[in-house]
Chains A and B, each alone.
Chain A
């Protein structure tokens, strides 16, 4: 699968799995939905801090309508993280002002779609939703060609991610929503490829990716910045007077 070019800026401060995944929920999730790749997933050593489910998964009771399994919550939060990333990328790109013509139209329209996906997933997850991460897009929103290349990879990756998770989803209604988003991401991918002069539909069959593969690819971009610094001992403040 395609890997985004590493940013030239300083490396994001990454958090280790142990520091972030205190209740083990995330490791469990990776285990369940990407079993055989767990080793590879954890081997990386750093983790997207944003994937820690707020408050843990098992205690959440919103105004409930229907049962959604823990696995589904993990999958939805995985999707939400990707949507947060895409939405922020497109919003920033439009704001920065380096885009023109069809590329600018694309960023506006698709940004609105991704924001709608974020809203939907946050609403569905309620208190179980992961927080919005902090991002640093390493200059990819500031140059039109770089933007297009990055958007192609983000959208293609999104398609692979949703496709990989669909067979893992337990709840029918969640699956229906995921499929409805999955095909839209594919439209996005084809659209930006077409704008960039690349084949919109490169193959007769699109590949799926595991959660671990997608997370690894995203981690390599260093777009997601850890929320909290690992604290270091500071010198004791000196007080005068």
Chain B
């Protein structure tokens, strides 16, 4: 199984720790002192609540950044769509695995069409793929599908906060379907459909590196 993507999905505890990354518990008095010194750190009429980390001030959401992110998503959808299309056609699948490939392949193809439509002239082109035999064997197909679907969820979750509201609504409609795919195929192979109470988010660079490591994409 050496050609498989091996992504360690962050465990639940780490995901929660990330989400809750509390700065040193500042007392209220200290906060107010700092707020006055800093000059208006308190949001007027807002509420100060502990428990959320300050995410690195990455580039603010913008239409240009949306294009970059949605093209990144499109690459993953191209990959999944082609994977399922070839697996369905391979003749190697039967029973529920075949049904999964059919249903989910149709979904991924719809995702491709949707993103291509949204991106218009800016849509990236479809690369060529070599799935290293993972579409020709039911066991390898199912194991690879688990990783691909989990990866898709992590990728969308990673990019969500970086999107403009409109693009987020579009991506939001897709990510939960990928999560459904992931749970379904996990159940087929009798793995835990929902392995943790929080799903991890992964950066674009980490996902890109993981995908590159599979060797599936031949010249993007």
Identify the A interface with B (CB < 8 A).
57-58, 60-70, 73, 109-110, 112-114, 116-117, 120, 123-126, 128, 159, 163, 166-167, 171-177, 179-191, 194-195, 199-201, 203-208
Contacts and interface: CB of A to CB of B under 8 A. Distances in A.
Interface residues on B, range: 35 or more
B36 interface: no
Contacts, number: 226
A189 B160 CA distance: 21
B169 A167 contact: yes
Contacts of B12: 116
Contacts of A117: 197
A223 B219 CA distance: 55
Contacts of A181: 197-199
B106 A204 contact: yes
Nearest to B57: A172
Contacts of A208: 169, 172-173
B47 interface: yes
B46 interface: yes
B2 to A, nearest CB: 28
Contacts of B174: 205
Contacts of B111: 204
Contact of B172 (A73, A116, A167): A167
A112 B182 CA distance: 20
B194 A184 contact: yes
Nearest to A106: B193
A70 B47 contact: yes
Nearest to A115: B197
